[in-house]
């Protein structure tokens, strides 16, 4: 187990290095540069700015400096927002995205497991049909439609009640988070429900469930102890990638609900060619995702001993 963990961590570090390099290469092949805007008015000012951001050095030296500062955990200074550290931007806006993402994953996992188990228990009966119809809807409707509809619904509910039940947009309190998180988690919830259903159906027909029934265990105990626990295993594996899609998928939800998350900053930075912010955010996100996937893998090995043996 320890050897496996160390191997995964080592692989993770190399992956993060690859992400950093890919970002660097991508950013340096962009036509135009961040100084071509109004700030570099004269050649002298331009030279000074290039000096400050290290853009006048040879590309390999820039690369070495870039990797070196990443190792120190320093992502540099923003090009467009004067004297603002990229670290500060991340520190300020990432918690917002992360809170939203964690809440969305929680909704998706809890709802998915619950609905998936329900559909398997009521297979080919009304609850199954209804939930599977909703699942197909959840997979097929783009998140921005859910976001727009969710907002429209909130406006109408608030109008109908005459007071603000839940805020329509913005950020700050738990009330602000509920609907965006639900919208964000919707497609993952649908996916988890589907997975849970098929995994549950497989387990219901397995030998040990028949044994459990034969020795007279009550149905509730079979459900919680044997069926649910074993059926959840495949769900855990998709949670790692799900966190990835949910945190980046948050862009749209952040846009529609006016949430000051990192996604909005990233899009803005790309439009303004803010080199340091783009590179910092991408590498940070990449590192975050790699860490999440490794954690989920290790968690899986801990939950399911069969994986550990291999």
d(CA 283, CA 20): 6
DSSP string, 219-243: HHHIIIIIIIHHHHHHHHHHHHHHH
Pick between residue 148 and residue 178 the one whose CB is nearest to another protein: 148
Pick between residue 40 and residue 141 the one whose CB is nearest to another protein: 141
Q: Which residue has the tokens 């109908």?
A: 160
Minimum gap (Å) between residue 117 Cβ and another protein: 14
d(CA 123, CA 267): 44
Q: In the Cβ-directed half-sphere of 144, how many Cα atoms lie within 13 Å? A: 5
Minimum gap (Å) between residue 126 Cβ and another protein: 17
Pick between residue 79 and residue 217 the one whose CB is nearest to another protein: 79
Phi-psi sector, 74: left (phi>0), alpha (psi -120 to 50), beta: beta
Minimum gap (Å) between residue 248 Cβ and another protein: 4
- For 277, counting Cβ atoms within 10 Å of its Cβ (0-12 exposed, 13-18 middle, 19+ buried), the class is buried
Minimum gap (Å) between residue 266 Cβ and another protein: 7
Length of the chain: 310
Minimum gap (Å) between residue 188 Cβ and another protein: 13
Pick between residue 27 and residue 108 the one whose CB is nearest to another protein: 27
Residues at the interface with another protein (CB under 8 A): 11, 14-15, 18-19, 22-23, 26-27, 29-32, 136-137, 139-145, 148, 151-152, 155, 198, 201-202, 244-245, 248-249, 251-252, 255-256, 266-267, 270, 273, 278, 281-282, 285-286, 289-290, 293
């Amino acid at each position: 187990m320890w050897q496996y963990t160390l191997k995964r961590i080592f692989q993770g570090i190399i992956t993060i290095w690859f992400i950093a390099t890919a970002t660097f290469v991508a950013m340096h092949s962009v036509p135009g540069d961040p100084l071509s805007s109004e700030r570099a008015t004269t050649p002298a000012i331009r030279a000074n700015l290039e000096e400050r951001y290290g853009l006048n050095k040879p590309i390999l030296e820039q690369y070495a400096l870039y990797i070196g500062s990443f190792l120190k955990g320093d992502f540099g200074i923003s090009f467009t927002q004067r004297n603002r550290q990229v670290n500060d931007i991340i520190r300020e806006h990432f918690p917002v995205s992360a809170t939203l993402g964690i809440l969305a994953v929680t909704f998706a996992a809890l709802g998915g497991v619950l609905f998936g188990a329900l559909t398997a228990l009521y297979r080919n009966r009304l609850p199954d049909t209804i939930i599977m119809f909703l699942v197909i809807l959840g997979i097929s409707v783009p998140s921005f439609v859910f976001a727009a509809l969710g907002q429209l619904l909130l406006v109408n509910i608030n109008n109908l009640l005459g007071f603000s039940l839940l805020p329509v947009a913005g950020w700050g309190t738990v009330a602000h988070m509920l609907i965006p998180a639900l919208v964000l988690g919707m497609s993952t919830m649908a996916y988890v429900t589907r997975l849970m259903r098929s995994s549950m159906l497989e387990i219901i027909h397995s030998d040990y469930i028949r044994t459990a029934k034969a020795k007279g265990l009550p149905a509730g105990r079979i459900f919680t102890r044997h069926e649910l626990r074993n059926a959840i295993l495949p769900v855990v594996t998709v949670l790692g990638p799900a966190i990835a899609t949910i945190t980046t998928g948050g862009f749209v939800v952040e846009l529609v609900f006016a949430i000051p998350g990192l996604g909005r900053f990233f899009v803005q930075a790309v439009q303004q060619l803010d080199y340091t912010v783009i590179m910092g955010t991408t590498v940070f996100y990449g590192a975050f995702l790699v860490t999440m996937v490794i954690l989920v893998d290790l968690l899986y090995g801990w939950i399911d001993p069969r994986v550990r043996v291999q």
